[in-house]
């Protein structure tokens, strides 16, 4: 399978992965798309996506934690995972 140059890889971890039922997906992005915009598009894919991403989630781009205003670049690796809590 040939990878489109306008894509990003999106990985899901821990409870987010369990709720979605997938480890990762590939999405086509547009120029200057932010992480929040991408997250909204992913949530619209179905109830399991919306449930997994509607609560508090941590987002990372290329293994660096970022907020939703971060602009995504083609070829980036995006990750969504629940916040870590400890005691």
Residue 73 lies in a domain: yes
pLDDT above 70 covers a percentage of the chain that reads: 92
DSSP state of 67: -
Domain range spanning residue 17?
7-81
CATH for 61 = 3.10.20.30
Model confidence over 5-30: pLDDT tens digits?
899 999 999 999 999 999 999 999 99
Number of H helices, E strands in the chain: 3, 5
Q: How confident is the model at residue 74 (pLDDT cuts 50, 70, 90)?
A: very high
Q: How many CB atoms lie within 10 A of CB 76?
A: 18
Domains: count for the chain = 1
Cα dihedral sign for 15, 20, 22, 28? negative
Beta bridge partners of 28: 7
Residue 43 lies in a domain: yes
What's the rounded Cα separation, in Å, for the pair 66 and 83? Answer: 13
């Amino acid at each position: 399978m040939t990878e489109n140059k306008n894509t990003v890889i999106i990985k899901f971890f821990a409870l987010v992965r369990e709720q979605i039922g997938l480890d990762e997906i590939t999405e086509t992005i547009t120029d200057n798309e932010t992480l929040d915009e991408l997250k909204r598009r992913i949530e619209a894919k179905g109830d399991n996506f919306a449930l997994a991403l509607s609560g508090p989630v941590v987002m990372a781009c290329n293994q660096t934690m970022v907020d939703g205003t971060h602009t995504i670049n083609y070829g980036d690796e995006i990750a969504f995972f629940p916040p870590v809590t400890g005691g």
